[in-house]
Amino acid sequence: MTTKPTMSAPARMRSLLKRDRPIMRMSVADPMTARMAEKAGFDSLVVGGYMLGASSCLTEPIIDMSQNLEAARRVQASVEIPVSVDAGAGYGEAIQVWHTVRQMEAAGTAAIQLEDQVFPKRAHYHRDFQENTIELDHMLEKMAAAREARTDPDFCIFARTDTLKTHGYDEAIRRANAFIDAGADAIILFPNTVEELRRAPKDVNGPLTVLVSHGNRVGRPILPAQELADMGYKIISYPITTGLVMYRALMRCYEDIIREGEAGLDHDEMVDVRLQLETTIGLPELYAIEERTTEKPGSKIHVNRQTLG
């Protein structure tokens, strides 16, 4: 279990954006992987659309705002580091964006991520990233509603453009800077080459997020975090890594059990892993509470249970 931090999640995100070194961010969909990422040392998390859709055996375009809200609330409540929420196209037009921001802020999260894709989103987005984007003015209307909805000025609005592939580099940069002028606290775009990766931090007039898209099928470059930091990226985010690694490891284990009749796991190592897992999910804190109450030697509940046993 985590202790309540002294700063709100939005304030912690603001603090991270102001520091010199980049923010390392992992995408998750549940409290256990959130705690694992926090324990590993990530500065921030995002409840990502791909991860949440995959964990539900659906796809991001089918996940509705209520499902996203509940996942975000549970993840932020489980960690001290700030959590952003990928809200896709905002679940509609300006009034839906306004409502989404209000709900995500009330859930205690640090930031919302909005993109210039059409709503409802298409599942085809996952097939080699076939973007369907709205006009710039339309997106700026949504951003204005998002800013108006904020009650905490520290709550961050991250804006993403998907136009780099379909409209070209210059249009993507034009939109990114228009989003900054409209009050976006950070930008997300998708450079397709190493050259574009190098150029973008110089051409965008604000903090820029790079997505390290492991498993992408369109040749987007995958570079080490330090190299990306040296280029000038403020947020280095891993949108799909958690899901890919979990799927690969679990399928290998499941197939071993079916094929060989055993998992092939070292028992002594698994004893240690189980202890780490139980510590991560907070069992030691619960043990301590019980030792002061229901499991306290001599307590009425403890004595009665032992008598019945």
Q: How far apart are CA 14 and CA 154, in angstroms?
A: 6
Q: Is residue 190 part of a domain?
A: yes
Is-contact 109 85, C-beta < 8 A?
Answer: yes
Does 17 lie in the same domain as 143?
yes
Judge if 154 and 286 occupy the same domain: no
Q: Provide the domain limits for residue 275.
A: 266-308
Q: Are 187 and 180 in contact (CB under 8 A)?
A: yes
Residue 183 zone, left/alpha/beta (φ > 0; ψ -120 to 50; rest): left
The half-sphere exposure of 251 on its side-chain side, counting CA atoms within 13 A, is 6
User: For the chain, how many structural domains are there in total?
Assistant: 2
Would you say 112 and 100 are in contact if contact means Cβ atoms under 8 Å apart? Answer: yes
For residue 83, tell me if it sits in a domain.
yes
Q: Does residue 156 sit in the same domain as residue 304?
A: no
Do 71 and 133 belong to one domain? yes
Q: Per the domain annotation, does 258 fall within a domain?
A: no
Question: Has residue 256 been placed in a domain?
Answer: no
Distance, in Å, from the CA atom of 305 to the CA atom of 124, rounded to the nearest integer, reads 58
Asked whether residue 70 falls in the same domain as residue 186, the answer is yes
Residues 243 and 303 occupy one common structural domain: no
Query: Same structural domain for residues 233 and 296?
Result: no
- Does 221 lie in the same domain as 161? yes
Predicted confidence at residue 1, as pLDDT, reads: 47
Q: Do residues 290 and 226 both lie within one domain?
A: no
C-alpha 65/C-alpha 104 separation (Å) is 9
Residues whose CB falls within 8 Å of the CB of residue 88, separated by 6 or more in sequence, listed in order = 49, 60, 61, 114, 115, 117, 119, 121
Each residue's pLDDT expressed in tens, for the chain with a length of 309 residues? 445 567 999 999 999 999 999 999 999 999 999 999 999 999 999 999 999 999 999 999 999 999 999 999 999 999 999 999 999 999 999 999 999 999 999 999 999 999 999 999 888 777 765 678 999 999 999 999 999 999 999 999 999 999 998 899 999 999 999 999 999 999 999 999 999 999 999 999 999 999 999 999 888 999 999 999 999 999 999 999 999 999 999 999 999 999 999 999 999 999 999 999 999 999 999 999 999 999 888 777 666 665 555
Domain match, 163 and 278 both = no
Angle at 49 between CA 230 and CA 17, to 5 degrees: 35
